[in-house]
Chain A
Amino acid sequence: MTCDVVIVGAGPAGLAAAIRLRQRAPELQVIVVEKGAETGAHVLSGVVMDPVGLDALLPGWRDEEDRPLRQEVVEDRFAFLTRERAFSVPEMLFPARLGNRGCFVGSLGEVTRYLAGRAEGLGVEIYTGFAATEILYDETGRVVGIATGDMGIGKDGQPTASFTPGMELRARYTLFAEGARGSLSKQVIARNGLDRDSGFQKYGIGIKEVWEVAPGKCHPGLIRHTVGWPLDRHTGGGSFVYHGADHLVTVGFVVHLDYANPTLSPFDEFQRFKTHPSMRDLLAGGRRVAYGARALTEGGWQAVPRVAFPGGALIGCAAGFMNVARIKGSHNAILSGMQAADAIVAEPDLAEPRSYEAGWRMSAIGRDLYPVRNVKPLWSRFGLAGLALGGLDMWAHALAGGGSVLGTLRHRKADHASLRPRAEVTPIAYPNPDGVLTFDRLSSVYLSGVNHEENQPCHLRLADPLLPIRENLPRFGEPARLYCPAGVYEVAVAADGAASFVINAQNCVHCKTCDIKDPAQNITWTPPEGGGGPSYANM
């Protein structure tokens, strides 16, 4: 079937674009496809949200009965951790751009469900439980839509009794709003050479739990970020702890995926982080109620590829509009969706939404990303010292009115190329989980509500099925076992000593880390049968 605009992904970017399109041009038929069984089921974020996006998209939202954000940030802490202690950095030392005053603590799942309601009210058609699995091109190479996946294909690749074919959705414009490392976005970037000038995108993995804490321990609106322990000086990342309503506290940890030690496990770093005295205190007597993980883009300003191409555009984190210094991307996701929509409405007959491409660097998105552009490269090169340099660079920026003595530093390596051979590193040993404060992967994945139809082809494709055992295992100890936050990858050793690579695809929470970090780039994440994946409620 044919419509005006088809949007892949019902996250903040896709929904903002859909809303804006119908606000400005109610005659357009706008269709959104979302692989999660419900809107928000695959969305995971902190979230401390900068309201600038919502304010622009739906100006009256703060007065609405069903508004999704209610709790403003009331106290903003930042600390450097050592194993035993936490050294606070006073709020007045933060460069102003990093402050969180005026931001809201909430859940991005709730925000997306609210946006979906508004979008449907405006006549947008949202189809959940359908993954876009293929990009449609015309003979000139222009993107002319997408196709959704077949359902009811068995493990052996043959149709089962419940086979239901996918469907082609053709459109004048196609917007890719798949979030970080989108499976189709990746293809459209490669085919159109969109990253020719931007170089490498950088990523992190964020792992998150929601805790119901003991009475008196939750201070709604209090947020804390930390760097330092348990990561070593060379590994980028840190924690976030956001206090919400109802005794619920979000506890999360980000590890930059350019880490070098193949024995590092982001999941276990996070578990270990919770044993810090300051965290033990907060979580004692509490109960973990939710778990999930998702990759985020970290390359920032200089890593954003060309965002427009013939027939469509990339929006949100599919384009990489994440501000890593603030760990915020949802506001830019909304703003970029709006800008792409405006370009489509203003120039309906152009080959591509050109004014979006031309305009974002001068817009609020550019102003948000430009001043922090050197934080990530400095952090990658010099570890924690680099982070401090990044902070100084931002101060210099603020004082000198916009310039940086460093210019714009480029990212030097793709994340998959940063691992060192196992023989050259000190292996990291992690403590066993205690089942109270720290957990194993399986009990965690259970809480993500993950589910996939069992009888379907494995959605984690190996270009060379033997490579994990032949190359990754001897050289790196097969790091997939450790970076996957859902225990999908295992190396099984038979009685005769023969090793084999096992993929428990039904546990996959769609974080995309394997697609990013596999040193040989041998793993490709593809969308499984629609509706499969986690069932996040308010992540």
Chain B
Amino acid sequence: MKTILVPVKMVLDSNARPRVRTDESGIDLSGMRMSINPFCEIAVEEALRLKEAGLAEEVVVVSIGPAKAQETLRQALAMGADRATLIEIDETVEPLAVAKLLRAVVGEEQPDLVLLGKQAIDDDCNQTGQMLAALLGWPQATFASAVRFEDGRLLVTREIDAGLQRLSLPLPAVVTTDLRLNEPRHCALPNIMKARKKPLKIGAPADYGVDIGRRLKILAVRPPAGRKSGIRVATASELVGDLRAAGIV
């Protein structure tokens, strides 16, 4: 393989405790810690491992998001990616528009493999990889828990309800990563320093001629109802009695 393209998304950090805005229009992100989406981080790691095994020449990362997403790209560069592109936009972009933008980037970069996270942990859409494969007309393997490259074909293991499924697919292809694929590396300080000097290109959606207009309307965002406090029961029969009374058994 020559190039592996890895799209990465900046998301609210999983440890941040966001506040839903009082007017229900969304989540207040001001001051919140943002991070690379964990599934995207796994995708970067896998791409780097393929490169380090001599199976690819170059890892290119791309992100679609606000200016701050440069930090997410710098993190991917610090892990070891070679180049980065940010398509800068402040508003949220729906999966279809993301997939169309990525199709345009694929046209530019001509990668042999696009490795993405299976979903972003902020909106849990789980659509972008599939839509991109469809737009490109490329084979796809989603939820990868192992990836091998042999004799010019990708062998991908997927975790599915019934067990493990193995797929063999020709290149170019789209693969989305599951949690167990690998454990991403730490970024060492010297590598973070070096990553500051790696190329990072910034463009706008208009440069790619893609319509990113919204097609979905968010009606309201509300926090989940608080959990009621529990009670302590002394015996199993008391528990059964309470469950009966609550109509659960």
Q: Does B213 contact A (CB under 8 A)?
A: no
For A247, give the chain B residue with the smallest CB separation: B22
Interchain nearest-CB distance for A127 vs B (Å): 6
Residues of B within 8 A of A37 (CB): 13, 33, 35
Whether the pair A535, B15 counts as a contact (CB closer than 8 A) is yes
Report yes or no: B31 in contact with A449, Cβ–Cβ below 8 A: no
Say if the beta carbon of A38 comes within 8 Å of chain B.
Answer: yes
Complex contact A167–B183 (CB within 8 A): no
Within 8 A of B (CB), among A490-539: 535, 537-538
B189 within 8 A of A: yes
Q: Is the CB of B190 within 8 A of A290?
A: no
In the bound complex, how far is the Cα of B14 from the Cα of A450, in angstroms?
10
A110: contacting residue among B19, B31, B35, B229, CB under 8 A: B31
Q: Considering the complex, give the chain A residue whose CB is closest to the CB of B13.
A: A535
1/0 per position for A474-494, CB-CB distance to B under 8 A?
Answer: 000000000000000000000
Contact of B31 among A107, A151, A446, A448 (CB under 8 A): A107
Q: Tell which of B15, B34, B183 has the most Cβ of chain A within 10 Å.
A: B15
Nearest chain B CB to A249's CB is how many angstroms away?
13
Is residue A164 within 8 Å, beta carbon to beta carbon, of the partner chain? yes
Given the known interface contacts A107-B31, A110-B31, A435-B229, the answer about A537 and B185 at a Cβ–Cβ threshold of 8 Å is no
Does the CB pair B189–A167 fall under 8 Å? Answer: yes
**Which of A148, A448, A450, A537 is within 8 Å of B32, CB to CB?**
A537
Interface string of B183-225 (1 = CB under 8 A from A): 1011111101100100000000000000000000000000000
* A535 near B185: Cβ-Cβ < 8 Å: no
Interface 1/0s, chain A 1-18, versus B by CB < 8 A?
Answer: 100000000000000000
Q: How far is the CB of B45 from chain A (nearest CB, A)?
A: 10
Chain A residues near B31 (CB-CB < 8 A): 40, 107, 109-110, 113, 537-538
Chain A nearest CB from B163 CB (Å) reads 26
Are A162 and B33 CB-contacts (below 8 A) given A447-B17, A535-B15?
no
145-159 of chain A: CB within 8 A of chain B: 148, 151-152
Q: How far is the CA of A127 from the CA of B191 in the complex (A)?
A: 11
Q: Is B30 an interface residue (CB 8 A)?
A: yes
B189 to A162, Cβ gap below 8 A?
no
How distant is the Cα of A538 from the Cα of B28 in the complex, in angstroms?
Answer: 11
Tell me the bound Cα distance from A448 to B17 in angstroms: 7
| Nearest-CB residue, chain B, relative to A109 | B31
Chain B CB count within 10 A is highest, among A40, A165, A537, for A537
B239 at the interface (CB under 8 A from A): no
In the bound complex, residues from chain A placing their C-beta under 8 Å from that of B16 are 449, 535, 537
Count chain A CB atoms within 10 A of each CB in B22, B186, B196, B229 and give the residue with the most: B186
| Residue of A38, A247, A290, A446 with most partner-chain B CB within 10 A | A38
Is B15's CB under 8 angstroms from A449's CB?
A: yes
Contact of B33 with A127 in the complex, beta carbons under 8 Å = no
In the complex formed, the residue of A with least CB distance to B185 is A162
Q: Answer whether residue A212 sits at the interface, using C-beta atoms and an 8 A cutoff.
A: yes
Please, which residue of chain B has its CB at the minimum distance from the CB of A166?
A: B189
Give every chain B residue within 8 A of A148 (Cβ-Cβ).
189
B-side contacts of A40, CB under 8 Å? 31
Docked pose: A448 CA to B188 CA in angstroms: 26
- Is there a chain B Cβ closer than 8 Å to A289's Cβ? yes
Provide the bound-state CA to CA distance between A435 and B17, in Å.
Answer: 18
Report if A324 contacts B (CB, 8 A): no
Say yes or no: is A41 at the interface (Cβ < 8 Å to chain B): yes
Which B residues are CB-close (under 8 A) to A538? Answer: 30-31
For A125, A127, A246, A535, which residue has the most chain B Cβ atoms within 10 angstroms? Answer: A535
CB distance from B71 to the nearest CB of A (A): 9
Residues of B with C-beta under 8 A to A165: 188
Is A161's beta carbon under 8 Å from chain B?
yes
Contact B30 A130 (CB under 8 A): no
24 A-B interface contacts by CB (under 8 A): A37-B13, A37-B33, A38-B34, A40-B31, A41-B33, A107-B31, A113-B31, A127-B189, A127-B193, A148-B189, A164-B185, A164-B188, A167-B188, A167-B189, A212-B22, A435-B229, A448-B17, A449-B16, A535-B13, A535-B16, A535-B17, A537-B16, A537-B17, A537-B30
